[in-house]
Amino acid sequence: MLMNLQLKLYQDEKVEELKNKVNELLELDGSKLCIFEAPTGSGKTIMVGEFLKRLVNPLDREDGKQFSFIWISVRDLHSQSKKSLNQHFENCFCYSSFGDIRDNIIGKNEILFLNWEKLYNKDRIYIRDNEKGKNLSNIVENTKQTGREIILIIDESHHTNLGPNATRVRADIAAKITLEVSATPIFHDPDGHVKVHFEKVVEGGMIKKEVAINPEFQKFKVNGKSSREMVIEAAIEKRKELLEAYKAEGSDINPLVLIQLPNLQKGINDLDKDVLTDVQKILKRKYDITEDNDRMAIWLADNKTPNLVNIEKATNEVEVLVFKQAIALGWDCPRAQILVIFRETASKVFLLQTVGRIMRMPEYHHYENHPTLDKAYVFTNIGVSEIKLGDEIAKEYFTFQEAKRNDEIYKNLDLPSIHFKRQREKTRLSSEFSKIFMEISEKLSLKKKLNIKKTKISNEIIVDGKIINIDKARAIEHSIMNYHSPDVEIQMYYDLFCKASAGEFAPFDSMNAIKSSLNRFFTRVMGFENDDPAFYKVILNPENINKVSEALAMSREEYKRTIVAKDKEREMENLAWNVPKVISYNSKYKAKDLKKSVMTPYYSRFIENGQASLLGDYEEDSKVETDFINYIDKAKNIEWWFKNGQGEVNYFAVPYVDKYGKKSAFYVDFIIQLRNGDVWLLDTKKGQTAESAKERAEGLAKYIKEQKKKGKKLFGGIVIPADKQWRYNDNEKYEYNPNDLKNWKFLGLS
């Protein structure tokens, strides 16, 4: 596997879960079906490849099972998967096409890649008999005769229907395990099911946080332009904005615009060509984007420009790619971030596979300071009523609606605000771990405790084990065999030791930090050569391994106390906050007619078909919030109000120290400006939430006091409903007793 391949935490966990599930199914009689459900952009191919690598690992195979694999994909995905796996797991498997098979047998750890359509088309070229006897049926039978288990992987399995042809192919192969891989699986009663949750993929920074459709489209003036020209103009302007944002991040990503030509019916190819010609004219006339200067590429069945080569690379000069349906499935180009779709598309439906091409993050993380880079963009002249989305995740993922700040009444507040950046050190060991390990090793006098003379690792292996009745067995009858591990196996044991030594941190993301620390100690302190296998044997020596493990465990604890805790302080940034210019909403929100919201229109969550939401039968986070909004929207003294959000850098937060002594961010519910210029920061509470608000309330009171000294006209605190009135507490020492509100002032903003 290439050294730069690092699994995300969710990937590592799901690979392990899949391995364990398949191993469980292997112990059962008969053929079994397992579903691996993973969203588009989650790294399905890499996860399946890593799963296969771990599955065949001889150190984990006490049963001695050996495997051969068949990988079937639709269209040309089998070739793409073969290329990807060969790149990332080069020495782990033998990768073969049908013509590569020798002696009509799939070898040990050999993966045979096949195209699904050719399995059951009219020729059935892989199934049928021929004079040489080379067909899939014979190959499968010969492979089974070797005693190896056949595992069938069906990639993008939702494209393979449940009709007689597909069923016949599965029956013909009769694999021990069939692994269906899909973002939207169609089988409902599998023997095993491992699911990668969409939220974890987003959280891992693998895909965009949302897809915005036609954002800020109304700013583009018609002035006689066609809707097609306006859509292209919006896309090119957005590309320029993204390019500047990447530069500000210090990244050389060159964002790519995808223009999808309509999927027209047969017999009207001339119209198809007219659309392409029109697109080419617009791009050349207005932006000097052409094939000749390599700023545009074309990918059509009968028209492929030479500059398609390396178009996937982050810095490739192509800015616009014109295509039809060919790239919709499997094409991987993370710099593609903008999709243009025209009304002429026959189905008038956004295909999730096409949108999937713009969902990947090019550098596999989100951008705290430029959230515009965390979105994908669709520009289209299709009406909202013509758009259909097939699943609930898509409905929540797409943002059709935007609220804009009313700059006619809003003037910049520049309120000091805080934001905690995400902390990679909370989930993985960083390079700082090496320094800590060196210090801990010195304190423990680890050098003096290690025996470096014993260079052979003796292992005990159970042999001739026997269990008659598994339910009654208390011990296994067995014998012991001792043997000395060869260097190849020492390397494998050492890798496993480093993985296991990551503790609660992500093992595959932390292994390199463990290895680097051990290498540094044994070269600088113990006098070994750099990465000398001899010191692997010292570590794995039974006399030494617990001592090294103890030093690593103490180093992890110190890392948590110093680096992770310190990082919480270091990663907090101070910002000058203003109400966001634009906020996007998905289809779970609807516009409300509220007059004084600074965001127009104001969007709130709505209850579909009269059903109560997970957060209750109200439209805000609580009923008290709904009532408070109704109050402030009618209050005469209020110029505007803003309903704050949570957790994101574009929302307002004040610092406070929680009851555990940890510095935290308090996202105050409402920012309100009065007609006289006073600004109020108010957070609604009621009952138990008011009782538990002490730390937040005191943090807010301290913040307001500090800002007043600097000239800010700030007021506010915790606000509660009481006897049909609104009362607030702005004391530096907060107390709440529902039976005694003498320290609570009347709000009186009306």
- CATH label of the domain that carries residue 34: 3.40.50.300
The whole-number average pLDDT for the span 155-175 is 70
Q: φ, ψ for residue 83 (rounded to 5)?
A: -65, -45
Same domain, 700 and 636: yes
The whole-number average pLDDT for the span 694-706 is 96
Same domain, 215 and 193: no
pLDDT at residue 411 greater than cutoff 80:
yes
Same domain, 725 and 648: yes
Could you tell me which of 479, 496, 415 has the C-alpha nearest to residue 58? Answer: 496
Q: Residue 527 falls within a domain, yes or no?
A: yes
For residue range 199-241, what is the model confidence (pLDDT) as tens digits?
Answer: 888 888 898 888 887 777 666 666 666 778 888 998 999 999 9
pLDDT at residue 396 greater than cutoff 60:
no
pLDDT at residue 519 greater than cutoff 90:
yes
Could you tell me which of 5, 448, 526 has the C-alpha nearest to residue 518? Answer: 526
Same domain, 688 and 715: yes
Q: Residue 530 falls within a domain, yes or no?
A: yes
Q: Specify the pLDDT at position 90.
A: 82
β-sheet bridge partners, residue 436: none
Same domain, 293 and 334: yes
Q: Residue 353 falls within a domain, yes or no?
A: yes
Q: Where are the alpha helices (DSSP H) in 34-175?
A: 44-56, 77-88, 116-119, 136-145, 164-173
The whole-number average pLDDT for the span 564-587 is 77
Q: Residue 4 falls within a domain, yes or no?
A: no
Q: Where are the alpha helices (DSSP H) in 27-111?
A: 44-56, 77-88
Q: 3-state DSSP: the chain helix, strand, coil percent, rounded to 5?
A: 35, 25, 40
> DSSP strand E in 301-374: where?
303-304, 320-323, 336-341
Percent of residues, the chain, with pLDDT higher than 90:
44
pLDDT, averaged across the chain? 82
- Residue at which a domain ends, from 154, 173, 203: 203
Domain count of the chain? Answer: 4
CATH number (domain holding residue 300):
3.40.50
**Contact call for residues 185 and 155 (beta carbons, < 8 A):** no
**What is the token pair recorded at 632?**
């402030």
Q: φ, ψ for residue 639 (rounded to 5)?
A: -80, -50
* Length of the chain (residues): 750
Q: Specify the pLDDT at position 163.
A: 52
Same domain, 712 and 736: yes
Q: Residue 411 falls within a domain, yes or no?
A: no
Distance CA 355, CA 372 (A): 17
> DSSP strand E in 612-651: where?
638-643
pLDDT at residue 31 greater than cutoff 60:
yes
Q: Residue 105 falls within a domain, yes or no?
A: yes
Q: Residue 339 falls within a domain, yes or no?
A: yes
SS3 653: coil
**Contact call for residues 716 and 697 (beta carbons, < 8 A):** no
Range of the domain at 197: 9-203
Look up tokens 């306006």; give the residue.
Answer: 230
Cβ neighbors of 27 (< 8 A, separation 6 or more) are none
pTM of the model: 0.68
Beta-strand pair 177-182/149-155: parallel
- In terms of C-beta density within 10 A (0-12 exposed, 13-18 middle, 19 or more buried), how is residue 743 classed? middle
Same domain, 371 and 440: no
Q: Specify the pLDDT at position 617.
A: 39
pLDDT at residue 259 greater than cutoff 90:
yes
**Helical pair 507-524 and 487-500, crossing angle rounded to 10 deg:** 120
Same domain, 199 and 80: yes
* Ranges 270-279, 552-561, 595-604, 615-624: which has the least confidence: 615-624
Q: Specify the pLDDT at position 610.
A: 41
- Residue at which a domain ends, from 540, 570, 600: 570
Same domain, 33 and 136: yes
pLDDT at residue 133 greater than cutoff 70:
no
Distance CA 400, CA 216 (A): 11
Same domain, 584 and 603: yes
End-to-end Cα separation, the chain, in angstroms: 67
Positive or negative, the CA dihedral 652, 654, 657, 658 is negative
- In terms of C-beta density within 10 A (0-12 exposed, 13-18 middle, 19 or more buried), how is residue 668 classed? buried
660-to-422, 657, 664 alpha-carbon distances in Å: 20, 8, 10
Q: Where are the alpha helices (DSSP H) in 384-423?
A: 392-397
* Ranges 50-54, 360-364, 421-425, 672-676: which has the least confidence: 421-425
215-to-224, 230, 256, 434 alpha-carbon distances in Å: 21, 13, 17, 46
**Contact call for residues 319 and 254 (beta carbons, < 8 A):** yes
Distance CA 178, CA 201 (A): 25
Cβ count near 18 (within 10 Å): 26
| pLDDT higher at 391 or 435 | 435
Q: Specify the pLDDT at position 171.
A: 81
Distance CA 177, CA 38 (A): 18
Could you tell me which of 190, 289, 305, 148 has the C-alpha nearest to residue 232? Answer: 289
Distance CA 148, CA 323 (A): 44
**Contact call for residues 36 and 77 (beta carbons, < 8 A):** no
Q: Specify the pLDDT at position 127.
A: 56
Same domain, 215 and 360: yes
**What is the token pair recorded at 485?**
């591990």
- Residue at which a domain ends, from 203, 231, 247: 203
The whole-number average pLDDT for the span 624-644 is 94
Same domain, 325 and 469: no
Query: DSSP assignment, residue 431?
Result: T
* Ranges 157-171, 301-315, 341-355, 370-384: which has the least confidence: 341-355
* Ranges 265-269, 372-376, 613-617: which has the least confidence: 613-617
Q: Residue 475 falls within a domain, yes or no?
A: yes
pLDDT at residue 79 greater than cutoff 90:
no
The whole-number average pLDDT for the span 501-514 is 83
The whole-number average pLDDT for the span 743-748 is 92
For residue range 732-741, what is the model confidence (pLDDT) as tens digits?
Answer: 999 999 999 9
Distance CA 353, CA 343 (A): 18
| pLDDT higher at 610 or 26 | 26
Distance CA 208, CA 339 (A): 14
Query: DSSP assignment, residue 529?
Result: P
**Contact call for residues 379 and 214 (beta carbons, < 8 A):** yes
The whole-number average pLDDT for the span 328-335 is 72
Q: Where are the alpha helices (DSSP H) in 505-544?
A: 507-524, 533-540
Distance CA 726, CA 684 (A): 10
Distance of CA 351 to the CA centre of its chain: 20
